[in-house]
Chains A and B, each alone.
Chain A
Amino acid sequence: MFRSVVYLMMALVGGNVFADADWVPLRGGAFLSALNYEDVDRIQVAPFALQVRPVTNAEFFAFVSTHPQWRRNKVPSVFAELRYLSHWAGPLELGAQADPQQPVVQVSWFAAAAYCEAHHARLPTWTEWEFAAASDATRSDARADPRWRERILEWYSKPSNKPLSHVGSTPPNVYGVQDMHGLVWEWTEDFSALLVDSDNRSQGDPDQAQFCGAGSLATRDRDNYAVLMRIAMLSSLDAEDTTANLGFRCAKDLK
Chain B
Amino acid sequence: MKNIQVWLATLLCAVSAYASADSVPLPRDSVYQLPVALIDHNGSRFSWDDRRGKVQLVSMFYTSCKYVCPLIVDSGKAIEKSLAAPERERLGILLISMDPRRDTPAALMQVVKQRSLDPARWTLAAPAAKQVRSLAGVLGIRFRALADGEFNHTSALVLLDAEGRVLARSERMGGQPDPVFLATVRSALAGNGSQTSALPKRGLAATLTRTEEGAGP
Contacts and interface: CB of A to CB of B under 8 A. Distances in A.
A101 interface: no
Contact of B153 (A75, A78, A211): A211
A230 B217 CA distance: 8
How many chain B residues sit at the interface, stated as a range, is: 35 or more
B134 interface: yes
Contacts, number: 124
A83 B71 CA distance: 37
B216 A39 contact: no
A211 B215 CA distance: 27
B2 interface: no
Nearest to A233: B215
Nearest to B209: A236
A38 B145 CA distance: 11
Interface string B202-216: 100001001101111
B144 A184 contact: no
A158 B216 contact: yes
A160 interface: yes
Nearest to B141: A192
Contacts of A75: 28
Contacts of B50: none
Given A39-B148, A239-B137, A239-B138, A193 B216 contact: no
Interface string B122-153: 00000000000110111011111111101111
B29 to A, nearest CB: 5
Interface stretch (A19-27, A92-100, A141-149, A212-220): A212-220
Given A77-B28, A193-B143, A243-B211, A214 B152 contact: yes
B29 A195 contact: no
Contacts of A200: none
16 contacts: A76-B29, A78-B31, A78-B34, A156-B216, A159-B214, A160-B217, A161-B214, A185-B215, A195-B144, A195-B153, A212-B69, A235-B142, A238-B137, A239-B134, A245-B215, A245-B217
